[in-house]
Amino acid sequence: MKSIFRYFLFLLLLSCNLDNNRELQIDQSYEGEEAYWVSKSMDEHLHLAFYDLEAFKKKAFADSLPGCPSVLFSTDSLSLTLNYDQAGCEDAGSSDFEGSIQLQYSLPSPGSNDTLQLNFQNYHQENTKIQGSRVFYIARKRTDNKLLIEETDSLLLVNNFGSSTRIKPRLEHQAQFQSGVLTAISSTGDMTGRNWSGNEIKVNLSKTTGAECLSSAIFRPTSGTETWTVLRTGGGNVIHELVYSETGDCETKTTIRLSEGVVMEKSP
């Protein structure tokens, strides 16, 4: 009986050591790369949520959209679909976009307390596939600014290698307008979910994208920070920080400060 007990105790200790070793072997640079990738993927289509359906009916506006999608309107005037598989303007050239995004409005021209939903349908952008929907509540709508509250239950991001990150955003997005032109987007709040390695993650962010980048269709923050906390099962929590800065006329830089002290830089 004692030998059987020793055998099971050995298996238990071995299992714990394997879990600890697996956690210790995780390269923090991969976690930094993942944080940057998730942030970039989430920012690149956020600007769409601030426009009413009527804006997409203007040819000049539709032609200015990155990826040059064709715009298809529903018969009930409550939704539109941006189809990236069909070019909506001449000389679109090669596109990094595939699939479509459906914008579902609660009213043709939604006001405060109305909703907007972005539904991703076989949507790819560069090295990212997005599955699910983002849900926004319109908390404030004025001529010069708009406040959206995002309460998305689950969004899945998958990279070209099949690694996926699942996130649940609880964010506030505020946009500034001047003469109908979007001049700034500021986002604050938290996200939770799980990362490539299957560990739980918690994200706190506060960042702003300025007019220079928005006018150039480059949707990277020009200031702000994101703090990524990874809850490791075999040890203590690991905290990484993303710091955004602008080095020139929309020449943005993301500085990734890993928990272990290593600093990485990405651009844009």
pLDDT in the model for residue 6: 46
Q: Cβ of 24: how many Cβ atoms within 10 Å?
A: 10
pLDDT category of residue 37 using cuts at 50, 70 and 90 = very high
pLDDT category of residue 12 using cuts at 50, 70 and 90 = very low
Q: Which residues contact 56 (CB under 8 A, 6 or more apart)?
A: 62, 71, 73, 80, 82, 103
pLDDT in the model for residue 93: 55
Coil, helix or strand for 151?
strand
C-beta of residue 227 within 8 angstroms of C-beta of residue 249:
no
pLDDT in the model for residue 110: 74
pLDDT in the model for residue 26: 67
Q: What angle do CA 180, 55, 250 make, to 5 degrees?
A: 55
Encode pLDDT of 221-265 as tens digits.
999 999 999 998 777 899 999 999 998 888 899 999 999 999 999
Q: Name residue 110's beta-bridge partners.
A: none
Cα-based distances in Å from 231 to 31, 167, 206: 12, 14, 21
pLDDT in the model for residue 92: 56
Q: Is the pLDDT of residue 24 over 60?
A: no
pLDDT in the model for residue 234: 74
Helix then strand then coil, % of the chain, to nearest 5: 20, 50, 30
Q: Is the pLDDT of residue 28 over 60?
A: yes
Encode pLDDT of 170-214 as tens digits.
999 999 999 989 999 999 999 999 999 999 999 999 999 999 999
Q: Is the pLDDT of residue 108 over 80?
A: no
Residue 13 CA to residue 148 CA, distance in Å, equals 50
pLDDT in the model for residue 250: 87
Encode pLDDT of 153-176 as tens digits.
999 999 999 999 999 999 999 999
Encode pLDDT of 41-88 as tens digits.
999 999 999 999 999 999 999 999 999 999 999 988 899 999 999 988
Q: Cβ of 230: how many Cβ atoms within 10 Å?
A: 22
Question: Span 82-100, mean pLDDT?
Answer: 82
pLDDT in the model for residue 169: 98
pLDDT category of residue 5 using cuts at 50, 70 and 90 = very low
Q: Which residues contact 172 (CB under 8 A, 6 or more apart)?
A: 139, 147, 148, 149, 150, 187, 188, 189
Residue 172 CA to residue 268 CA, distance in Å, equals 23
Position with higher pLDDT, 23 vs 74: 74
